[in-house]
Amino acid sequence: MTVANGHTSRRGLIGAINERHHRAVLGLYMVIVLGHWAEHLVQAFQIWGLGWARPQARGVLGMPFPWLVSSEWLHYGYAIVMLIGLFALRPGFVGRARTWWTIALVIQFWHHVEHLLLLLQVQMGFLLPGTTVPTSLAQLVVPRVELHLFYNSIVFLPMLIAMYLHLRPNDGELRQMTCSCTHESRRRLTLAPSAG
């Protein structure tokens, strides 16, 4: 790390992601998150709005590619991408936004553990006692479609709050920010010494 103009600067890929490329990488990450969330919303609509049986409710991509819905590797891959994204983008957040981003990270970590358990059951050929299909711990109580819609919602909500606060920092948070998410002119005005 280097210190310049009172700000700590990180080097390497994580530094670039959380400083000069933070806004762009955060935007790309949100496209991935919203695309996946939309899949769950479409699947829920297919079940509750259109009255489709659960095996036929496969979301948008699952209609032309039905194997996607049953691929635990795909679901685990998405869970790990979400976790890595939350972890990698976290250093760019400060103050209140960082608190909310961390909440999303903790919830996604648990969601990742649930997907890892599902993947291990498929790969190792074992099931939890009393189940007939790969089942996560929370899925013992809540059906899978509803559970994943819930997980994606409770991860997305704190992310949304974090991004709102990140793009509208108070003066103290703005002074701590080193990323590309706020307008440079606003940063210069806030950091300029006051006349008087």
pLDDT-based confidence at residue 174 (cuts at 50, 70, 90): very high
Enter the pTM of the model.
0.85
Q: Is the pLDDT of residue 195 over 80?
A: no
Q: Is the pLDDT of residue 35 over 60?
A: yes
Q: Is residue 189 part of a domain?
A: no
Q: Is the pLDDT of residue 165 over 70?
A: yes
What is the torsional sign of CA 48, 109, 138, 117? positive
Average pLDDT over residues 108-137: 96
**Per-residue model confidence (pLDDT) at position 186:** 59
What is the 3-class SS of the chain, one letter each residue?
CEEECCEEECCHHHHHHHCCCHHHHHHHHHHHHHHHHHHHHHHHHHHHHCCCCHHHCCCCCCCCCCHHHHCHHHHHHHHHHHHHHHHHHHHHCCHHHHHHHHHHHHHHHHHHHHHHHHHHHHHHCCCCCCCCCCCCCHHHCCCHHHHHHHHHHHHHHHHHHHHHHHHCCCHHHHHHCCCCCCCHHHHHHHHCCCCC
User: Cα 41 vs. chain centroid, distance in angstroms?
Assistant: 16
pLDDT-based confidence at residue 5 (cuts at 50, 70, 90): very low
Q: Is residue 30 part of a domain?
A: yes
Average pLDDT over residues 183-191: 54
Q: Is residue 2 part of a domain?
A: no
Q: Is residue 193 part of a domain?
A: no
Q: Is residue 23 part of a domain?
A: yes
Q: What range defines the domain where residue 138 resides?
A: 8-180
- At 162, list the tokens: 């974090």
CA–CA dist 156, 148 (Å, integer): 12
Amino acid code (one letter) for 48: W
Q: Is residue 155 part of a domain?
A: yes
Q: Is residue 191 part of a domain?
A: no
The number of folded domains in the chain is: 1
Q: Angle at Cα 184 formed by Cα 179 and Cα 189, nearest 5°?
A: 120
CA–CA dist 92, 90 (Å, integer): 5
Q: What is the pLDDT of residues 53-62, one digit of tens each?
A: 998 999 988 8
Q: Is residue 44 part of a domain?
A: yes
Q: What is the pLDDT of residues 72-122, one digit of tens each?
A: 999 999 999 999 999 999 999 999 999 999 999 999 999 999 999 999 999
